Amino acid sequence: MFVMDLQKIEDGKQWLEEVLRLSGLPCAVDADAVKTELEQSCWLVIDHASLSPEQTQSLIGEGGVVLDAIQYLANTILNIGQADDLQTAYTIELGGYRVQRQMELQQMAEAAAQQVRETGEEYEMVALSSAERRQVHTYLKAFEDVETYSRGKEPDRRLVVRLAPEDADGIVEVD
């Protein structure tokens, strides 16, 4: 059973509220306990009720780039000095963007797996952030007949989906 340290949740909320305040966009931040439990990541949700649609969009950024940057900073700064086994994963949510993007990524992953099954050829998924590539890798682990890996260097790193190799008896090998 996954248990999130309440102090880490509070630290994350305070840090994010301060970042938003310093950015001129003071907002409350809450933790989504259900998503935290399900995703095993501390979900910090920015209350966008006091933000204009333009402010919300500027915090998300084109393709989620600003929200990804804030999330990267949260994960880096809030885990400084922590042993690997004590680090906490933080997910920053705003206006349902992460939930919507997760559904899109899941659909993209399923479509890629299906195309690989039908053609037998590798499929490259482009324009994914490192966090999104990680999500797709994790999601596709549940499919025993395909495997994933990343190819290339940032900023042009791509996730590749291919058929999992079979052993001599025709059994799919899973790492």
Q: Which residue has the higher pLDDT, 174 or 97?
A: 97
What are the domain boundaries of the chain?
Answer: 6-95, 101-163
pLDDT band at 175 (very low <50, low <70, confident <90, very high): very low
Query: Alpha helix (H) ranges present in 2-153?
Result: 6-22, 33-39, 53-60, 65-77, 97-119, 130-140
**Topology match between the domains 6-95 and 101-163:** no
**Angle between the N-to-C axes of helices 6-22 and 65-77, in degrees from 0 to 180, rounded to the nearest 10:** 130
**Angle between the N-to-C axes of helices 130-140 and 97-119, in degrees from 0 to 180, rounded to the nearest 10:** 60
**Domain 6-95 CATH assignment equals 3.40.50:** no
* CATH number for the segment(s) 101-163: 3.30.1370.50
pLDDT reported for residue 4: 67
Separation in Å, CA 163 to CA 17, 107, 144, 146: 44, 18, 9, 4
pLDDT 10s digits, 41-75: 899 999 999 999 999 999 999 989 999 999 999 99
